[in-house]
Amino acid sequence: MAGLKQVQRQTGVALWRQIADRIRETIGNGTYDETGMVPPETVLALQFGVNRHTVRSALAALAQEGIVRAVQGRGTLIERKERLNFPITRRTRFTSGIGDQAREMRSLLLDEVQEEASAEVARWLGLKQGEQVIRLETLRQADKRPVSKATSWFPAARFAGIGDAYRKRESITKAFADLGLSDYVRATTEVTAAHANTADLADLELTPGAILLIAKAMNTDLDGVPVQYSISRFAADRVQFTIEN
């Protein structure tokens, strides 16, 4: 079956994690849409070249993510949860981007630190290495389900108090407005994919082996001066990106 290949045993990644990733990807591709069910454990074990216990561990992980559900007497049912569509535009905004796809949205401030800019952060923000920046760790939820986690840096001299403003307003856009920046635009977005690390697994409520879409982005004011550099991690099974001109 397309998308299901035998796993690699010497990659350093547990077999059940590899299988969970491949089943997750296959579900996302719509391969099982006709039946709405994942094939039986015996079939999957044969396709992947592993024992049923390994397949069972993979399915249990996917069940914890809410992707599948075991049904007594029937097998493993695919839970129909559509991905949220997140547009990346010149004015990318989380709340307006998700729009009416969710009934309730929350943005939580997990941590705030003032620190010296690393070489990477300084390059993105057009600062000198060692200049003061404010780093915010934030978590965004849609209908009480974690969708993304972001690390963002701001020039401290210009945006002192942005942590308090974000905590109050639950929005970067509104926090900027409170600090005198009425509008800003997306200058650059770089998208990659990777396995979630331990901290992101916990905050995004994922299981080991889950895939993240990672967006590195730089926003500027209308004069082209950088105001924010961020690295956002999105749960790949919950969000898809649409790139718009």
Kindly indicate whether the domain formed by 15-78 is annotated with CATH number 1.10.10.10. yes
pLDDT digits (tens, 9 = 90+) for 157-193: 999 999 999 999 999 999 999 999 999 999 999 999 9
Superfamily of domain 84-243: Chorismate lyase-like (3.40.1410.10)
Rg, C-alpha atoms of the chain: 21
Q: What is the DSSP letter of 124?
A: H
Q: Cα angle vertex 77, ends 74, 80, to 5°?
A: 150
Residue bearing the bigger pLDDT, 157 or 245? 157
**pLDDT tens, 22-69?**
888 888 777 887 788 999 999 999 999 999 999 999 999 888 777 888
Q: Report d(CA 27, CA 40) in Å as an integer.
A: 14
- For 84-127, the DSSP string reads EEEEE-TT--HHHHHGGG-S-EEEEEEEEEEEEPPHHHHHHHT-
Model pTM above 0.75? no
Domain extents in the chain: 15-78, 84-243
pLDDT, the chain, mean: 88
